[in-house]
Amino acid sequence: MTDADKATPRFGLVVVGDEILSGRRQDKHFPKVIELLAARGLQLSWMRVVPDDREILTNALAQTFASGDEVLCCGGIGATPDDHTRQAAAAALGLPLALHPEAEREITLRCAEMAAKGQGTADMSVPENQQRLQMGVYPVGADIVPNPFNRIPGFYIRRHTFVPGFPVMAWPMLEQTLDTRYADFHHPVLHDEMSFVSYGVPEARITPALVAVQERWPGVRAFSLPSVGEDGQSPHIELGVKGPTEDLPVALAFLREQAKGLGAKLEAPVSRNGGRIE
């Protein structure tokens, strides 16, 4: 692996489903993916929610394939009429669809296991099992993503990992992918986020200090989250820094000193990963 190959990839998340956009279900993948990546020293760079619409999904995946990012995609890989992810991925790549032999084997084993429990038949020629095999039809060239919950795999192709929308299936499949395909990138640099709440100084006045932080520590990103005083709180600004752990304490101390010098009243700083900072 060359030094260029070792560069930490950017990760994106695509969540597919009308039920998310309509509010019938609340997305759980976004916070979980952040957690899974953070546990491995990685970060989520962006996320998108896309409807169960073949054209919109195809266009969205064409963009994410072109991005060069590593993308985790949850939802829409089933075989009912409202599942379009497999077909959209193939269309976005200009590839045909075909039954994957490993997926066929896993789905066949799943049907046999269910038949042994008195649920259905192991005869793969019956219509319902032929329908189940459709869940193993992927863009040509894809690899399977094992599913420890019920054997029915997801698939990986062109830096995209496709898993079901069900968290009980999706999350172990994503963990397996992160721990195998991306193992070389785990904990390249530990990142954290540290912040404090500032009262009495307008955002425009503190902005030059935020710029100064990024000039002094190029790997650190400074941020400002103003509040107009919701829920009975006084107007305030959450000021902070995020980036490589070793650079953050001194950058945060600098930012606090700048805010105090401008007359701000400050609360104690906190770390996203470590809680309150003494």
- Are 44 and 163 in the same domain? yes
14-69 pLDDT, tens digit each: 999 999 999 999 999 999 999 999 889 899 999 999 999 999 999 999 999 999 99
Tokens representing residue 239 in the block? 């000021």
Looking at the structure of the chain, the number of domains it has is: 2
- Output the domain CATH number for residue 240: 3.30.70.600
- Are 75 and 158 in the same domain? yes
Rg (CA), the chain: 23
Quote the CA–CA distance of 114 and 48 in Å, as a whole number.
35
- Are 46 and 147 in the same domain? yes
C-beta separation of 34 from 66 below 8 A? no
Residue 143 burial (CB < 10 Å; 0-12/13-18/19+)?
A: middle
The partner residues of 138 in beta bridges, in order of sequence, read 98
61-120 pLDDT, tens digit each: 999 999 999 999 999 999 999 999 999 999 999 999 999 999 999 999 999 999 999 999
What residue numbers bound the domain in which 179 lies? 11-185
- Are 164 and 270 in the same domain? no
Quote the CA–CA distance of 67 and 3 in Å, as a whole number.
20
- Are 84 and 171 in the same domain? yes
* Residue 4 within a domain: no
Q: What average pLDDT does range 195-222 have in this prediction? A: 95
* Residue 48 within a domain: yes
| Domain final position from 135, 167, 185 | 185
Instruction: Report the interhelical angle of 167-180 vs 29-38 (nearest 10°).
Output: 30
Q: What is the amino acid identity at position 12?
A: G
- Exposure string of 194-233, with b = 16+ CB inside 10 Å and e = fewer, is bbbbbeebeeeebeebbeebeeebeebebebeeeeeeeee
C-beta separation of 47 from 15 below 8 A? yes
138-157 pLDDT, tens digit each: 999 999 999 999 999 999 99
pLDDT tops 80 at residue 174: yes
- Are 141 and 272 in the same domain? no
First to last CA, the chain: 42
Cα atoms found within 13 Å of the Cα of residue 75, Cβ hemisphere only? 21
Which pairs from 55-62 meet CB under 8 Å and 24+ separation? 57/16, 57/84, 57/85, 57/88, 58/88, 58/91, 58/92, 59/92, 60/14, 60/88, 61/14, 61/88, 61/89, 61/92, 61/160, 62/92
* Residue 1 within a domain: no
Query: Which phi and psi angles does 113 have, rounded to 5°?
Result: -65, -45
Residue 131 burial (CB < 10 Å; 0-12/13-18/19+)?
A: exposed
* Residue 120 within a domain: yes
* Residue 3 within a domain: no
The model's confidence at residue 7, banded by pLDDT at 50, 70 and 90, is confident
pLDDT of 5 reads 46
Quote the CA–CA distance of 9 and 70 in Å, as a whole number.
7
- Are 21 and 93 in the same domain? yes
- Are 60 and 150 in the same domain? yes
- Are 68 and 164 in the same domain? yes
* Residue 5 within a domain: no
With H, G, I as helix, E, B as strand and everything else as coil, classify residue 193.
Answer: strand
- Are 172 and 217 in the same domain? no
- Are 169 and 222 in the same domain? no
- Output the domain CATH number for residue 97: 3.40.980.10
